[in-house]
Amino acid sequence: MKNAVTQLALVLTLVLGLAQLQPVAAQDEPFTDNYIAIDPALIVNLAGESRTRFLKVGIDLYVRTAEAADAVNTHMPLIRDRLISYFAGRTVDEVSALDQRDALRLGALKAVQEALLEQAGTFAVDGLYFGSFIIQ
C-alpha cells in the first residue's frame, strides 16, 4: 500500500511539473509571422494624363516582433490611408521609371513608420516590399 501511494505521489508530481513547464516552452518559440500583407491591394488614380490611369500596388510589411505585428494590425486603416495618400496623384512617369521604384518604396516605408510613430509610439515596420506593381 505504501508503495502504491508513493508511486501515485511520484506520478502526480511528474504530471504537475510537466504542466508547469508547458507554457514556458511556448514562450520560447520564435516569432515567424514577419510579413503582413496590405490586403486588398491599393488602387489609386495617377495624375497628368488626358485619360484616367491607375496604379495597383500590392504591399507587404516586414516586422520583427509580435508586438510590432499587433501595432500594424491595430492601425491598418491609418496605414492604408497614408499609403493611398502617398501614391495618389503621382504621375505615370514617377511610378513607371524603374530607377524611381526604390525611392517610392523607401518613401512609402517612411510614411508608414511616421504614422505608426504618431499612433503607437514605435516605428514597428522594418521593411516595405512591393508584391505587385501594375500601371494601367
Residue 25 confidence (pLDDT): 45
Residue 60's DSSP bridge partners are 37, 129
Burial 76-87 (b: 16+ CB within 10 A, else e): eebbbebbeebb
Residue 49 confidence (pLDDT): 67
> pLDDT tens digits for 1-33?
556 555 555 555 555 554 555 554 455 678 889
pTM, to two decimals? 0.76
Give CA separation, 38 vs 3, 107, 128, in Å: 63, 16, 10
Arithmetic mean of pLDDT over the chain: 86
> pLDDT tens digits for 66-87?
999 999 999 999 999 999 999 9
- Report the percent of the chain where pLDDT is more than 70: 79
